[in-house]
């Protein structure tokens, strides 16, 4: 059974960098699939942040691309999100996800439990 687990930084100071890591069990990241992040701010719809396939194909939401970096550590079977210069608008529940391939229409078949990140001083 594939399982994803986000780290939980909880509170981040405004203008600082939000860092999240997603540990994967039950599947080797290097074996395939896309791995990404989704968030939901209070009262807002779900927002796709970005995704990557291994390290060579990385896709970002243009609305966040200037502040976001995704990376993968295959030795630890985990992948990470860094979002710099955060503001209160970045307060949200963040999920790490596995995204299928073209056969499944790039659907999201596994989600982490989600972690609430609050940006506040």
Partner 1 sequence: DIVMTQSPLSLPVTPGEPASISCRSSQSVLNSNGYNYVDWYLQKPGQSPQLLIYLGSNRASGVPDRFSGSGSGTDFTLRISRVEAGDVGVYYCMQTLQTPLTFGGGTKVEIK
Q: Does 10 bind partner 1 (CB under 8 A)?
A: no
- Helix or strand or coil: residue 102? helix
Nearest alpha carbon to residue 49 among 41, 59, 57: 59
| Contact string 19-48 vs partner 1 (x = CB under 8 A) | --------------------------xxxx
| Contact string 43-82 vs partner 1 (x = CB under 8 A) | --xxxx----------x-xxx-------------------
Backbone φ and ψ of 9, nearest 5°: -70, -25
- Least distance in angstroms from the C-beta of 91 to partner 1: 18
| Rounded Cα gap, residues 87 and 19, in angstroms | 14
Instruction: State the greatest distance between any 2 C-alpha atoms of the chain, in Å, as a whole number.
Output: 45
Q: Does 2 bind partner 1 (CB under 8 A)?
A: no
Of 57 and 75, which has the nearer Cβ to partner 1? 57
């Amino acid at each position: 059974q594939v399982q994803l687990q986000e780290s939980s930084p909880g509170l981040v100071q405004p203008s600082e960098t939000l860092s999240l890591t997603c540990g994967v069990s039950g599947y080797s990241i290097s074996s395939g699939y896309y791995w990404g992040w989704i968030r939901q701010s209070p009262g807002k719809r779900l927002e796709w942040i970005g995704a990557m396939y291994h390290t060579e194909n990385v896709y970002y939401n243009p609305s966040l691309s200037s502040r976001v970096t995704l990376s993968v550590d295959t030795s630890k079977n985990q992948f990470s999100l860094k979002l710099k210069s955060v503001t209160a608008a970045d307060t949200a529940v963040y999920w790490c996800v596995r995204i299928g391939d073209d056969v499944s229409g790039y659907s999201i078949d596994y989600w982490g439990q989600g972690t609430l990140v609050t940006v506040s001083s």
